């Protein structure tokens, strides 16, 4: 009997059940969104309270992103090894505990070393949650993989939208330390409770890949086989370039607004430029992921990359040349967030299309480590800005990185991927898919 033979239809979960699994993953991702996208609001108050250098504080951000990504292959392997029932539940539950502890440590940190330790703890927890939820999405939805991963990643990218104002108001009223403390408990408890409802699909519980409009592999590659493939490393380099360009700007958005002299300008219903930008950016960042994921399900991953990253390169240029007034700053920043966040739906989808769903949690996590490498561009952006005296050089570098990725997607990756997948599918005609 084939190991992945379909289960009887009476035992298979309903279509609504897999959407429930997706929604749980989205909520868990939203609960870790503040760890990255709410960070910028804590940097200034911490620097003021402790006389710490902003660049030194941002090292904590780089550590968080690095740990949130570099351990995910191990965490993904644990999830895949423990099986579809225990793996997701245990990993996300433990991740919730680590997320809680990480921000509790931040609330008590009286030294940069303690702040860095908090970043390590929260990064480990967030990585386990992220890898598990993305892995679940690509497994449950082979027919709508781009959309499913986009919605899941959108929870992470847009989850902070409802907390932008509360975080800034709490920091202003009770201080940044107590804000860390209370958000730690709220986020951690919700994740821990929802974890026990998660699971991955059993063989035969999801639609066939033939339901998808994009070309997909009929077999699943092990992590070792994937790492031996040149196309994986091309995707990795592309991920690093786009992720680094985005992090260099998105992690510094509050600092950039301050340098432009627009951060505290009141522009809408009593909200400052920074508050309005924070809300709009979160919506744009979260919305980009399912939107471009859905587009990629219709026209293909590489063509979608070309559209998104070309627009992104132009957005960086616009922020440097036209984003110096309050409203143009809000618009240009939102365009950057909208054309950067989709990497977290397009790349996992492309990876699973190419290397199959069986080891998807581990394989997509290996690709996701590219974000950890790219995080070290954040402090380098501060160095480049200090050396040149303006943000224009940072924006120019970011734009060029995006344009390079567009060329790689269209003229290198797409021809290779179509050739490899077509050849594989031809050789496996009549054989059962994994």
Predicted confidence band at 1 (pLDDT cuts at 50, 70, 90)? very low
239-265 exposure pattern, b = at least 16 Cβ within 10 A, e = fewer? bbbbbbbbbbbbbbbbbbbeebebbeb
CB 123 within 8 A of CB 64: yes
Average pLDDT, the chain: 87
What average pLDDT score do residues 303-314 get? 96
pLDDT number for residue 155: 87
Q: Is 219 a residue whose pLDDT tops 50?
A: yes
pLDDT tens-digit series, residues 190-206 = 999 999 999 999 888 88
pLDDT number for residue 248: 84
pLDDT tens-digit series, residues 250-307 = 878 888 898 899 988 988 888 899 889 888 888 888 888 999 999 999 999 999 999 9
pLDDT number for residue 134: 92
Give the residue with greater pLDDT, 124 vs 219: 124
pLDDT number for residue 41: 87
Q: Is 4 a residue whose pLDDT tops 60?
A: no
Q: What is the DSSP string of 197-238?
A: T--PPPTTSS--GGG-SS---SS---HHHHHT-HHHHHHHHH
Domains and CATH numbers, the chain: 17-204+225-421 (1.20.1250.20)
pLDDT number for residue 428: 53
Spatial distance between the Cα atoms of 95 and 67, rounded to a whole number of angstroms: 12
Total count of residues recorded for the chain: 434
pLDDT tens-digit series, residues 96-134 = 999 999 999 999 999 999 999 999 999 999 999 999 999
Distance of CA 338 to the CA centre of its chain: 13
pLDDT tens-digit series, residues 361-399 = 899 999 989 987 887 777 788 788 888 888 888 899 999
Q: Is 5 helix (H, G, I), strand (E, B) or coil?
A: coil
pLDDT tens-digit series, residues 36-55 = 888 888 998 999 999 998 88
Tell me how crowded residue 55 is: count the other CB atoms within 10 A of its CB: 14
pLDDT number for residue 404: 97
Q: Is 433 a residue whose pLDDT tops 80?
A: no
How many helices and strands, by DSSP H and E, does the chain display? 20, 2
Predicted confidence band at 309 (pLDDT cuts at 50, 70, 90)? very high
Q: Is 11 a residue whose pLDDT tops 80?
A: no
Widest Cα–Cα separation across the chain = 68
Calculate what percentage of the chain has a pLDDT beyond 70.
92
Predicted confidence band at 222 (pLDDT cuts at 50, 70, 90)? very high
């Amino acid at each position: 009997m084939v190991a992945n033979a379909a289960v009887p239809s009476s035992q298979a979960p309903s279509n609504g059940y897999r959407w429930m699994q997706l929604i749980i993953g989205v909520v868990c991702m939203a609960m870790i969104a503040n760890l990255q996208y709410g960070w910028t609001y804590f940097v200034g108050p911490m620097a003021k309270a402790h006389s710490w250098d902003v660049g030194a504080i941002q090292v904590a951000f780089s550590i968080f992103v690095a740990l949130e990504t570099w351990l995910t292959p191990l965490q993904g392997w644990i999830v895949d090894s423990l099986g579809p029932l225990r793996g997701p539940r245990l990993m996300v539950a433990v991740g919730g505990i680590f997320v809680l502890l990480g921000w509790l440590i931040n609330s008590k940190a009286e030294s940069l070393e303690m702040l860095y330790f908090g970043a390590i703890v929260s990064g480990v927890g967030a990585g386990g949650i992220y890898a598990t939820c993305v892995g679940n999405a690509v497994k449950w939805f082979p027919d709508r993989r781009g959309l499913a991963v986009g919605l899941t990643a959108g929870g992470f990218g847009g989850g902070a939208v409802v907390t932008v104002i509360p975080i800034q108001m709490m920091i202003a009223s009770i201080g940044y330390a107590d804000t860390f403390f209370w958000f730690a408990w709220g986020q951690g408890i919700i994740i821990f409770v929802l974890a026990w409802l998660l699971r991955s699909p059993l063989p035969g519980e999801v639609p066939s890949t033939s339901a998808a409009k994009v070309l997909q592999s009929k077999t699943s590659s092990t992590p070792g086989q994937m790492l031996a493939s040149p196309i994986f490393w091309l995707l990795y380099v592309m991920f690093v370039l786009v992720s680094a360009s985005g992090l260099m700007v998105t992690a510094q958005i509050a600092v950039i607004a301050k340098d432009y002299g627009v951060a505290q300008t009141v522009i809408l219903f009593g909200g400052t430029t920074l508050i309005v930008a924070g809300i709009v950016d979160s919506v744009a960042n979260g919305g980009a992921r399912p939107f471009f994921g859905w587009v990629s399900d219709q026209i293909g991953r590489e063509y979608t990359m070309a559209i998104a990253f070309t627009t992104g390169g132009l957005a960086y240029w616009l922020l440097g040349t036209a984003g110096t007034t309050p409203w143009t700053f809000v618009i240009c920043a939102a365009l950057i967030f909208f054309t950067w966040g989709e990497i977290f739906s397009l790349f996992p989808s492309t990876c699973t299309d190419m290397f199959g769903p069986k080891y998807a949690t581990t394989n997509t996590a290996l690709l996701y480590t590219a974000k950890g490498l790219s995080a070290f561009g954040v402090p380098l952006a501060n160095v480049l800005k200090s050396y040149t005296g303006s943000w224009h050089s940072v924006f120019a570098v970011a734009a060029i990185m995006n344009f390079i990725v567009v060329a790689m997607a269209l003229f290198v990756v797409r021809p290779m991927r179509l050739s490899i997948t077509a050849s594989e599918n031809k050789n496996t005609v009549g054989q059962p898919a994994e």
